Amino acid sequence: MTDTTTKPKKKKKWFKRPPKSDKPKEQPVESSTPTVTADSSTATTKVTPAKKKKRPAKAQPVPVPEPGGEKIKIIPLGGLKEIGKNLTLVEYKNEILIIDCGLSFPDDEMLGIDIVIPDMTYLVKNQEKIRGVVITHGHEDHIGAIPYLLKQINVPIYGPRLALGLLEVKFKEHRLNNVRMQRIKGDETFQLGVFKIEPIRTTHSIPDAFAIAVHTDIGTILHTGDFKIDYTPVDGQVMDLHKFADLGEQGVLLMLADSTNVERPGATISEQNVRKSLENAFMNCKSRIIVATFSSNIHRLQIIINTAQKFNRKVVINGRSMLNVFAVASELGVMNVPEGLVIDLRDMDEYRDDQLVLLTTGSQGEPMAALSRMSSGEHRKLDIQAGDLVIFSASPIPGNEKTVSRVINQLFEKGANVIYDSLAEVHTSGHACQEELKLMHNLVRPKYFIPVHGEYRHLKQHANLAMSLGMPEENVFTMQNGQVLEFDEAEGKITGKVQAGPILVDGLGVGDVGSIVLRDRKHLAEDGLMVVVVTMDRSEAKVVAGPDIISRGFVYVRESEDLMEEARIVVQKSLDQMEQRGVKEWAQLKNGIRDGLKDFLYHKTQRRPMILPIIMEV
């Protein structure tokens, strides 16, 4: 037997002290478990043993590029000065890494638009440099635009199991086959070209959420993804704060951090607070309970499932997106749904009202969502009954306040009791507030910082928070989508801009609706349309029949016959004047009709409808 008291070299490696030195040796960034190396062309994996990680004696200096050496670029194509549409590029040594590729939802000005995705022109032009897409988590604002990317570029996708499961459903809808996907885990690193990727487990409103550390020979770039610090998460997977501290000791060149809740002081409340509030609501209710929440908020869905089981209620799921998420999460084992607890909508009549919970979409007042149709009486199978308890387990996204308020008012009018965020703790955010952000900054201690994921006021407030913690102002970059931040020698600076912006998706059309079409839609929505039809002899440019005037969305014709007749006379006078001047070009004739009628209608009604002249040739 070896005498360990005389041979200290046989002590366990993790117990051995680091050598004393004025300049401690740099420690390699290594995982405590096997390393996965993925080839971007085949997405195959090779497992090799990795050394156990040593914690350095003190913080290591952040390495900087040598003068004249390679430069590392950060290019956000989405997620800045907006909520959603998150897409960030890391470019180094002629290789590109994509972090997230999400969508956003249209605002009130984008009439008829379904979703908004980032402009991917730069990616298409540089597709041979792309090594892969790494996903932080499975929310739509981080994965929703991936099918549109894959329709233009064939790149491998690396993400958590839940995000990949949700993407598989999307790929079937978009008829995308043979997509290369690889699961990432919080205890494995992998190589993508010149980038060494280290996922770090975080807590968010969806399971399998990660921050992404990108290691290069210049330095480490940390992207926090969406996160909050919840010490009592629903799934028991606590955020790996130790790894963030380790990164801070090793040295982080740049951090990009979530800014969504930077305006809120304190810390985000735990999901366990929501659980208690929901249990109190269930305990005192003797009628049906209808809970509206985000279909992607799986932790909240699990709490509702557990609470329903505790109070002996069956669960009915209503809404296609909710059904899809339940199917994927249950299949992957991310959610625990007891057998027999969830019943079909058609079997509701077999149970008393006090034995039912309806889980539904529509927490944002979306017109076509199940709850909105129930509140307006347009749902084919479900109606709101007097005494129903409706719980909005979500807060309105900025811009949705009016639509949510309208639905709540309709529910009250139908005799329902409604609980929403301002009345009880039935919702909590998935994003870090000020104290959690301060902790992240103090753990990581990056040299440079970019606030991301927020409107401009959020980015500015996060930049101010970083500077209040001692970061030099010149090391904080409040950027815009498309700007290129470049690190060279010992400094970082914005050196240019690439094409970036919103691409509007309307039905099957991607990018075919632009500002001019939206302007026309807004014009039609606000002032209506008048169509002027004239039949003319082409050779002599003389009116053969008409003018006839058709109004849509401007005035009710049957009650405005005098106005319509006066408008017809105005058009006729304009045509007579142009005939006397010898005007024969169709374009000039249409402009003359439009100008004469526009002035007349504004003088009579103070409105400016869209005027569409149509000349029929005989």
CA 436 to CA 441: how far, in whole Å?
A: 9
Contact residues for 20 (Cβ-Cβ < 8 A; gap 6+): 57
Does the annotation flag 429 for ligand binding? yes
Which residues in 111-143 are b (16+ Cβ under 10 Å) and which e? Answer: eebebbbbbbbbbeebeebbbbbbbbbbbbbbb
Does the annotation flag 431 for ligand binding? yes
Given the residues 246, 258, 388, 506, the one annotated as active site: 258
Does the annotation flag 430 for ligand binding? yes
Residue 464 is inside which H or E element, if any?
Answer: helix 456-468
Q: Are 323 and 316 in contact (CB under 8 A)?
A: no
Contact residues for 522 (Cβ-Cβ < 8 A; gap 6+): 109, 111
DSSP category for residue 104:
B
Q: Are 199 and 211 in contact (CB under 8 A)?
A: yes
| Annotation marks residue 258 as catalytic | yes
Distances (CA, A) of 381 to 340, 341, 346, 533: 22, 21, 9, 46
The strand pair at 529-537 and 542-552 is best described as antiparallel
Taking phi over 0 as left and psi of -120 to 50 as alpha, with beta for the rest, 68 belongs to left
CA 308 to CA 187: how far, in whole Å?
A: 34
Amino acid at 462: H
CA 372 to CA 185: how far, in whole Å?
A: 38
Does the annotation flag 523 for ligand binding? no
Distances (CA, A) of 389 to 166, 244, 322, 412, 414: 31, 43, 20, 10, 11
Rounded to the nearest 5 percent, the helix, strand and coil shares of the chain are 30, 25, 45
Given the residues 223, 431, 441, 462, the one annotated as active site: 431
Token code pair at residue 457: 């006021």
CA 4 to CA 150: how far, in whole Å?
A: 58
Does the annotation flag 219 for ligand binding? no
What's the maximum distance between 2 C-alpha atoms anywhere in the chain? Answer: 119
CA 299 to CA 275: how far, in whole Å?
A: 10
Contact residues for 548 (Cβ-Cβ < 8 A; gap 6+): 532, 533, 534, 568
Burial degree of 378 (CB within 10 A; 0-12, 13-18, 19+): exposed
Contact residues for 327 (Cβ-Cβ < 8 A; gap 6+): none
Contact residues for 543 (Cβ-Cβ < 8 A; gap 6+): 534, 535, 536, 572, 575, 579
User: What torsion, rounded to 10 degrees, do the Cα atoms 505, 510, 512, 518 define?
Assistant: 10
| Annotation marks residue 137 as catalytic | no
Residues making up the annotated binding site are 427-431
Residues making up the annotated binding site for substrate are 427-431
Q: Could you list the active site residues? A: 258, 431
